[in-house]
Amino acid sequence: MIQVLQNASSPSQQSATGQKIGLVAGWGDFPVHVAKRLKRQGFQVYCIGILDHADPQLADICDDYRVFGMGRMGAHVRYFRRCGVEQATMAGKIFKTVLYQRSQWLRHLPDLTFWRHFYPNFVTRTADCRDDTLLLTVTRLYAAGGVQFASATDFAPELIVKKGTLTKVGPSTAQQKDIQFGQQIAREMGRLDIGQSVIIKHQTVVAVEAIEGTDACIRRVADLCGDGGFTVVKVAKPDQDMRFDVPTVGVGTIESIHAAGGNVLAIEADKTILLDEQATIEAANRLGIVVVAA
């Protein structure tokens, strides 16, 4: 396993004036938060925006911004090295559904470097395509090109949620039972590298997140549980690598739960990223969604 670049004091506590860092940006607000935080710390930020994923406003935040297809791994590494980047971080979701759409392979155009590293996963099928397998292969690919990855939360530790009830109203006794039941199921799903979230009602599993992602999983529950009243439980994997795929929630998560008829979001304290905490909690209070970090 590639060594995580962490020191006794976090990077956020060190002087970074003029230091170069790479950012691989996927979908969502998290890459924007990370880019802004890195700039405030004095880093020169060189950003690879993944095609059809990254927020274009990153171009206005970072020192340099280039859009690449997901499969252009050789181009990714060469870009960072041309910019003098030896340390990078990942932020944002990559939609794995791209791997199962032939047209998307053409858009993301895998290069020789990609095939050299992912040949066992996509050609011979001698290796699996679990999230951890693919993401660890990505970090090894970058490391072979001289770029090491650190966790984005090293640079933005304030985004990691602390334990406690975050909304004005906490869970009822029945909801607490659903949370505890859901945590057991979700941790087992995480151990199997299936997904991070499960949806529970009356200690029954209504839905399990897989390749579609948390928000899409929540949306389909509207058809499965028409009278609502469900609990969303989202946890990290038992051996979560904080360099990638860290559980993340925000205002959009709250709005998805409300639209589908849910009323509780339970997340894992110290291992979940909470974006725009004030706005997220205000939205939860306004929409009557209980949010608890356990």
pLDDT tier at 4, thresholds 50, 70, 90: very low
Cβ(284)–Cβ(166) below 8 Å? yes
Tens-digit pLDDT profile for residues 106-160: 889 899 999 999 999 999 999 999 988 999 999 999 999 999 999 999 998 999 9
Mean of the per-residue pLDDT values for the chain? 91
Query: Residue 15: what pLDDT?
Result: 52
Say which CATH class 160-293 falls into: alpha beta
The single-letter code of the amino acid at 86 is E
Domain with CATH 3.40.140.80 in the chain: 160-293
Q: What is the pTM of this model?
A: 0.86
CB burial of residue 7 (10 Å; 0-12, 13-18, 19+): exposed
Q: Report the percent of the chain where pLDDT is more than 90.
A: 81
Query: Residue 12: what pLDDT?
Result: 43
Check pLDDT > 50 for residue 71: yes
pLDDT tier at 5, thresholds 50, 70, 90: very low
Check pLDDT > 50 for residue 3: no
CB burial of residue 146 (10 Å; 0-12, 13-18, 19+): exposed
Check pLDDT > 90 for residue 255: yes
Query: Residue 8: what pLDDT?
Result: 32
Check pLDDT > 50 for residue 7: no
Stronger pLDDT, 110 or 17, i.e. the higher one = 110
When mean pLDDT is compared across 13-27, 90-104, 221-235, 263-277, the lowest value belongs to 13-27
Mean pLDDT of 265-286: 96
Query: Residue 103: what pLDDT?
Result: 84
Check pLDDT > 80 for residue 13: no
Query: Residue 239: what pLDDT?
Result: 86
Domain with CATH 3.40.50.20 in the chain: 11-154
**What would be the CATH architecture of the domain defined by 11-154?**
3-Layer(aba) Sandwich (3.40)
Range 11-19 contact pairs with CB under 8 angstroms and sequence separation of 24 or more: 11/41, 11/150, 11/154, 11/155, 12/37, 12/41, 12/154, 12/155, 12/156, 12/157, 15/42, 16/41, 16/42, 16/43, 17/42, 18/42, 18/44, 19/43, 19/44
